[in-house]
Structure 1
Amino acid sequence: MSAPIRFALSDMDGTLLRPDHQLAGPVIEAVQRLQAAGVRFSLASSRPPRAMLEQARLLGISAPIAGFNGGRLVYPDGRLLEAYPLAPTAARAALTFLARHTVDIWVFADEQWLLKDFSAAHVPTERHALGFDGTLVVDFDPYLDRVDKIVATTDDHALLARLEAELQPRLVDQAHAARSQPYYLDITSIEADKGKALTRLARHLDVPLSQTAALGDSHNDMAMFAVAGLAIAMGQASAEVRAAADVVTVSNAEDGVAFAIERYLLSSDAL
């Protein structure tokens, strides 16, 4: 690291939050110390922005945040900064492809979580993480012109990894297909990835990318690792994700973001 970090962007689930999706006191305190030291801090998540605002408030974040993997950039009060919805042709192609496989499919549009089955696996997990309930629909077609994200979910992690590899070439330059968790495959606009989100937020804050840090644990965090001045992986991340980072902190269950802030961002002799 040749220049001091001036802006840090963190993933939420699996990174900033503990496994129960809660913010821990040590993490809140570390983020507040970091911001008091003059380093801007923000959030990038596959979550919709409305499911990030309370955490942003608790952390005292003043910078814009990135929801839907960068598909929506909003100010901490929820006002829209930039939006990159999924192209309707890509949305239809993804839904058609996923319908051929044994996965549950969700669509996020109109600030709603749309689903066809409340009994599907991971609905309770998502409800707890988002802080709001889904809306039951019989057809996703009426929403195809304004989709922010499509999610395929299953407990067959190997199937989801295979679907990611098969779906991305079909979407070509229209959309991204990337796992945000072993059991979630997210499809978002080609303009919605965390690397582009970090680049746009850094530009908005007038911070060069060489003075940014990215913290994450999942496959979809590797895009921001590729452009950040310092990439920090969580201790429980897969070998592939850890290999893509510059340094590895402890797990999110051990408040790895707090450890990384103290060790790599606030310490004068960190690296």
Structure 2
Amino acid sequence: MSEETIHPIRFLLSDMDGTLLLPDHSLSQRTIAAVRALREAGVFFSLATGRPPRAMLQQIEALGVDVPTAGFNGGTLVNPDGSILVAHHLPAEAALITLALLCDQPEVEIWVFADGEWLLRDPSGPMVPWEQHGLGYAPVVVESFEPFLGRIDKIVAASANAQLLVELEARLQPKVAGLAQVSRSQPVYLDITAMKANKGDALKTLAAHLGVALEQTAAIGDGGNDPAMFEVAGLSIAMGQAEEVVKRQANLVTGSNVEDGAAEAIERLILHRQ
């Protein structure tokens, strides 16, 4: 990890999967201790993830997060008491365009998140068990996504064919330009959310809510949905296993998630300088 002069950090916004969490979705004791030390030092800490809010509860409790968090890539900001601070739904037009493109892809599983549920039409998809393990709850099988148009928080295209998702991302972006955000939160997940549902806007909103200047904020992540917060944070940190295009958009690069890279960044780049 290289080092450079930074402002004292008062607020850290962190991605979850691939950043704080190990590949089995667990938190290491070093990461838990680093976040605890951060909070004891008076630095605000929160989470920004592509996950739905209800799939963050275990980590919020384990880390002692006591400020609003950002689910659905920033589409839904949730207060500590569970009430909604901000919510941005995917426009129906963008949802229809997205679903029309994805339905012709046999290698892609289509998941829709709406009304607090994980919705799908085919529960036998090979990636369903892994997603259920990560989320901590089961999907709801529906015959059609049409009844949920206008209330959709996120559409996910999931596929073990990572290159196919790269190609679909490039095809879909111009079709929903100005209507939706399209980004790969992980190599096997392509997320489609509302325009305001991005981690950059989430960081701005949360920093203002906490009374912290943007130059005193830090952001850490590994996925294609994380550079949005890198662009506005005073300090941006990419995980060691992130794709090169993500690393190039961060100020610094730390170790991978299996090397406790997030804890290392907290210890050396934030706590050490407080």
Which letter does structure 2 place at the counterpart of 1:20?
A: D
Corresponding residue SS for 2:18 = helix
Assess if the C-alpha contact under 8 Å between 2:11 and 2:207 holds in 1: yes
- Structure-2 separation of matches of 1:268 and 1:72: 32
Q: Does 1:26 align with 2:14?
A: no
C-alpha offsets along residues 191-239 of structure 1, whole Å, 9 cap, x if unaligned? 1001111111111111111110001001110111111111111111111
Assess if the C-alpha contact under 8 Å between 1:46 and 1:180 holds in 2: yes
Instruction: Work out which of the residue numbers 89, 98, 111 in structure 1 matches 2:93.
Output: 89
Shift in Å, 1:2: 4.1
Q: Does 1:61 align with 2:52?
A: no
Aligned CA RMSD, in angstroms, stands at 1.0
Question: Structure 1: where are the runs of 5+ without partners?
Answer: none
State the match for 1:3 in structure 2: 7
Shift in Å, 1:248: 0.8
Question: Which segments of structure 1 move beyond 3 Å, counting only runs of 4 or more?
Answer: none
Assess if the C-alpha contact under 8 Å between 2:8 and 2:273 holds in 1: no
Instruction: Work out which of the residue numbers 134, 143, 146 in structure 2 matches 1:138.
Output: 143
Corresponding residue SS for 2:190 = strand
Shift in Å, 1:100: 2.2
Q: Does 1:100 align with 2:127?
A: no
Query: What number of residue pairs does the alignment pair up?
Result: 269
Correspondence list, 1:202-217, <5 A: 202-217=207-222
Shift in Å, 1:23: 1.1
Percent of matched pairs sharing the same residue: 56
C-alpha offsets along residues 88-119 of structure 1, whole Å, 9 cap, x if unaligned? 11111111111122311000001000011122
TM-score normalized by the length of structure 1: 0.97
Structure with the larger helix share: 1
Correspondence list, 1:165-204, <5 A: 165-204=170-209
State the match for 1:239 in structure 2: 244
Corresponding residue SS for 2:167 = helix
TM-score normalized by the length of structure 2: 0.96
State the match for 1:47 in structure 2: 51
